[in-house]
């Protein structure tokens, strides 16, 4: 994986390929892993389609540019012309607000489940089927925002996702899709292999740390911000609340204790889903990791979708809630501050995460 990432990073950093980026002015939103399907019971995106359309309208109205990080359409299970009848309007909206290349083409990054769009035969197929929705689209495997933010789907270097993807596509199309339809299994169901995902994300983190670059991926369907998982942040918040209890009159402790129990129940849910095993920490050789790895999650959660916003020097992890249609800020930080930590190989400390100073050593 490291060799493949190195090659793609060098390609993306070439002057003719680099995407100009002004952290003080630019507003970007990053989504991935929609897995838009054919509208059947195996369509993981269908349940969140209206929510996603709401999110796109929100970003369009506020002048954001869109970057999709791969697996936008589910081409392992469906032909493109079977997806279009259900999602053509959404795809047109995506393309309308996407970032542009120097050639004024709209840029989309492809992943393992939509790799076909990068092949010549897909272009021939599009012409044959009179599919002109992608005429002004330029597909890339990775891009750089400036020189220090690298965006990629994240499947690169894994044999069955990258080299032998046709075998994986056959297995998904002939076995998994039928299983999904029969058992109504969604994208965040038992198909996830958390051990493989943990190992893959450790590789992401090591590559970003070694290259001193901010790496933003999709692929794993797990939202991560600044090399800290949701599990990590819950642990930090619980410790912070426990410390707060020490300086709070006993009569006012009820709400704090209630919040501690709520966060503990969320941790229990994570552990139950992972068969009791907590996520692997990125900080294997120090108390805290370097905040270099980010993941925008996916658009197929049963309770909503996640994305990453970059808005005028602030980077945020966002959740769009499926029930309320609310945009929720899960965490946000100063982008320049983060990039300085990454460039200087500094671990997360109390300046970056003020609540850490309340944690026991």
In this prediction, residue 356 carries a pLDDT of: 78
Instruction: Let me know if 262 is exposed, middle or buried by CB neighbors in 10 A (0-12, 13-18, 19+).
Output: exposed
Domain with 106 in it: 2-229+286-346
* Number of domains the chain is built from: 1
Residue 120 lies in a domain: yes
Residue 246 lies in a domain: no
- 35 pLDDT band (50/70/90 cuts)? very high
Residue 224 lies in a domain: yes
For residue 179, pLDDT beyond 60: no
Share of the chain above pLDDT 70, in %: 88
Residue 237 lies in a domain: no
In this prediction, residue 244 carries a pLDDT of: 87
For residue 187, pLDDT beyond 50: no
Residue 61 sits in a domain whose CATH number is 3.60.21.10
Cβ atoms 83, 121 nearer than 8 A: no
Share of the chain above pLDDT 90, in %: 62
Q: For residue 108, what are its two tokens?
A: 């989309």
Per-residue pLDDT tens over the stretch 256-272: 999 999 999 999 999 99
Residue 236 lies in a domain: no
Give the C-alpha distances (Å, rounded to integers) separating 86 from 80, 91, 211.
Answer: 11, 10, 41
What's the mean pLDDT in 30-56? Answer: 94
The structure's pTM equals: 0.88
Residue 62 lies in a domain: yes
In this prediction, residue 183 carries a pLDDT of: 45
What's the mean pLDDT in 111-120? Answer: 84
Residue 165 lies in a domain: yes
Residue 262 lies in a domain: no
């Amino acid at each position: 994986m490291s060799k493949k990432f190195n090659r793609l990073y060098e390609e993306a950093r070439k002057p003719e390929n680099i995407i100009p980026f002004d952290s003080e002015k630019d507003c970007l939103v990053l989504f991935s892993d929609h897995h838009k399907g054919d509208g059947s019971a195996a369509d993981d995106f269908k349940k969140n389609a209206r929510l996603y359309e709401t999110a796109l309208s929100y970003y369009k109205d506020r002048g954001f540019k869109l970057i999709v990080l791969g697996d936008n359409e589910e081409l392992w299970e469906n032909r493109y012309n079977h997806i279009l009848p259900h999602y053509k309007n959404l795809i047109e909206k995506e393309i309308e607000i996407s970032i542009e290349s120097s050639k004024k083409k709209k840029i989309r990054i492809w992943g393992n489940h939509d790799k076909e769009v990068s092949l010549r035969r897909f272009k021939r197929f599009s012409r044959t089927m009179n599919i002109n929705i992608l005429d002004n689209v330029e597909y890339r495997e990775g891009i750089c925002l400036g020189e220090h933010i690298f965006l990629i789907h994240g499947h690169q270097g894994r044999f069955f996702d990258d080299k032998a993807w046709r075998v994986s596509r056959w297995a998904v199309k002939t076995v998994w899709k039928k299983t999904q339809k029969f058992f109504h299994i969604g994208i965040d169901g038992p198909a996830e292999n958390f051990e493989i995902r943990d190992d893959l994300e450790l590789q992401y983190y090591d590559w970003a740390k070694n290259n001193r670059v901010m790496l933003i991926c999709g692929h794993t369907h797990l939202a991560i911000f600044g090399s800290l998982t949701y599990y990590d942040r819950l642990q930090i918040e619980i410790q912070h609340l426990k410390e707060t209890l020490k300086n709070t009159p006993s009569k006012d402790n009820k709400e704090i204790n209630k919040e501690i129990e709520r966060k503990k129940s969320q941790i229990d849910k994570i552990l139950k889903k992972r068969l009791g095993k907590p996520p692997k920490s990125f900080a294997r050789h120090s108390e805290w990791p370097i905040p270099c790895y980010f993941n925008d999650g996916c658009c197929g959660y049963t309770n909503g979708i996640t994305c990453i916003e970059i808005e005028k020097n602030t980077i945020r992890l966002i959740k769009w809630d499926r029930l309320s249609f609310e945009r929720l800020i899960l965490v946000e930080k100063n982008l320049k501050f983060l990039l300085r930590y990454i460039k200087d190989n500094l671990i997360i400390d109390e300046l970056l995460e003020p609540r850490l100073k309340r944690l026991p050593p």
